[in-house]
Amino acid sequence: MAIRDYIRERFFPHIWCPGCGHGMVLNAMLHGIEKMGLAKNEIVMVSGIGCSARIAGYVDFHSMHTLHGRALAFATGVKMSRPELNVIVPMGDGDALAIGGNHFIHAARRNIDMTALVMNNRIYGMTGGQFSPLSGYGTQASTAPYSTIDHGFDIVSMATAAGATFVARSTTYHVRELSGYIRRAIAHEGFSVVEILTQCPTYFGRQNRAGSAVEMLESYKDRTVSLDSENAEAAGDKTGGWGFESLHSCHHPLPRSPACAPRRGAGAATLAGKRSWPKRLRGNSSDRCARKSPG
Ligand SMILES: Cc1ncc(C[n+]2csc(CCOP(=O)(O)OP(=O)(O)O)c2C)c(N)n1
Ligand code: SF4
Ligand SMILES: [Mg+2]
């Protein structure tokens, strides 16, 4: 199916500001889905509220635009009633980790078979640039004119600790790599998380003098390190730890706990068990290898 066929063209032009990274995430996701060969009616997209959450309106899948922070709760209900469908949840950093933080950790703990795409622009974009739990120390925001004093979450570490079984981080600069991670996350059986560092030039960029959208993108190239690269060992030194200067490609495919393994067969009313899964949607065996250290 052509990429264009996955889009609801009638809702365009989109609402995003020029240079916003959210459209690049949409692009990467659709390329990943197209490569998997998924039909539109095999996918449900459930979103909350935020600039990022608007993605659900632009795709021609089954889609739900629900409440700020509650998308994972709605998505859990969808997965319980239609376990054969692929459930994807695009979320902003505020949506996922502020108001929706509790839903996030418990969806990970339950290892529910769905994919969370956390679009981390380190700010509340939609409502005018307030700081979020991902803003990180020393960030200017409309609610922090003298800059923030607390540190941000590390989504990768938190999701892994809470029980997610596929966790990756990438950026809108690394769009091909990002597309591959999204594809693997959707194919993975269990709760999969892809954190995407994405630019909000309008609020985060202006308030923090981060430059144009292009300069923000370039900074993702210059200030992140692939864990697959030879430089991964030195990554901690180069990046200075979590935040904007984070590693861009962490993937933590974990073995599933027996309690979370999908139960197959007729009449098994489990989250993943009503029907047997098409082969291409099953996790690849390399997704179950030993956990990699984030460095
Ligand atoms: C219950 C509730 N609280 C607050 C809001 C206002 N609100 C809408 S979007 C948003 C934050 C958006 O930030 P984020 O989730 O990071 O998405 P972004 O716009 O940055 O992509 C807030 C606070 C709301 N719609 N509903
Ligand atoms: S406010 Fe920021 S996140 Fe929202 S559309 Fe504009 S650039 Fe994107
Ligand atoms: Mg945000």
CB of 133 closer than 6 angstroms to any ligand 1 atom: no
Which of residues 245 and 57 earns the better pLDDT score?
A: 57
**Residue 51 near ligand 1, beta carbon < 6 Å:** yes
Please check whether residue 294 lies inside any domain of the structure: no
Angle between helices 155-162 and 101-110 (to 10 degrees): 50
Total number of domains constituting the chain: 1
From 20, 124, 153, the mutation candidate for ligand 1 (largest count of ligand atoms within 8 A of CB) is 124
Residue 117, domain member (yes or no): yes
CB 183 within 8 A of CB 248: no
> Looking at residue 231, what is its pLDDT?
59
Which of 152-156, 212-216, 278-282 has the highest mean predicted lDDT (pLDDT)? 212-216
Higher-confidence position of 35 and 277: 35
Cα(96) to centroid of ligand 3, in Å?
9
Show the domain range for 187. 3-288
Residue 293 falls inside a structural domain = no
- Residue 135 belongs to some domain of the structure: yes
Q: To test ligand 2's pocket by mutation, which of 120, 121, 202 has the most ligand atoms within 8 angstroms of CB?
A: 202
Length of the chain, please? Answer: 295
Is residue 62 domain-resident? Answer: yes
Give the per-residue pLDDT at 266.
30
Phi/psi of residue 227, each to 5°?
-70, -15
Q: Tell me the CA–centroid distance for residue 28 and ligand 2, in Å.
A: 18
pLDDT over 70 at 241, yes or no: no
pLDDT digit string (tens) for 133-150? 999 989 999 999 999 998
> Where do the H-state alpha helices sit in the chain?
22-36, 55-58, 71-81, 93-97, 101-110, 155-162, 175-187, 206-207, 213-222, 235-239
Report CA(200)–ligand 2 centroid distance (Å).
Answer: 5
CATH at residue 105: 3.40.50.970
| Residue 274 near residue 30 (C-beta atoms within 8 A) | no
pLDDT at 258 over 70: no
**Confidence (pTM):** 0.84
Residue 99 lies in a domain: yes
What is the pLDDT, as a whole number, of residue 222? 84
The answer to whether residue 295 sits within a structural domain is no
Which residue is closest in CA terms to ligand 2's atom 5? 16
Instruction: Report pLDDT for 230.
Output: 60
